[in-house]
Structure 1
Amino acid sequence: MSSTSVARVTTITARSPESFEAALTEGIARAHATLRNVSGAWVKDQKVECDDGAITSFQVVLEVTFVLDD
């Protein structure tokens, strides 16, 4: 059994009307539902969308890391 592993990184974007944390949580949950062996993520970018002076949505761009199967 080898302790060496190979991982891949993919970029996803998630949005929530509630908060950055909610967008991040939804993004990770969605990645986990689609990808096997998700091991972490890096928040590459954050932004908000506004309308008439009020924040309408929070968006995060995630670099999701998942370990490839042997």
Structure 2
Amino acid sequence: DLEILEVQEVVASLKSFELRLDRHTENSTERAFASKPKCHGCGKFGHMIRECNGNKNAHKVNYANQVEET
């Protein structure tokens, strides 16, 4: 009976540890995405639109359209 009880305690302890580990992993993922802003120009994480390398020409095109309209 003592061995069975010890095995049950170990199993319960491992399950508890796995639950804590899963919670920590989920929180880490959420924090990682929250700390990296999403660019509205290209949709990638880690920079803002004003820092976007893929969006340099878009500003020039918009400016050219504004000049032609006036």
How high is the TM-score relative to the length of structure 2? 0.25
Higher RCO structure, 1 or 2 (CA under 8 Å, sep 6+): 1
TM-score, length of structure 1 as denominator length = 0.25
Q: Please tell me whether Structure 1 or Structure 2 has the larger radius of gyration of its CA atoms.
A: 2
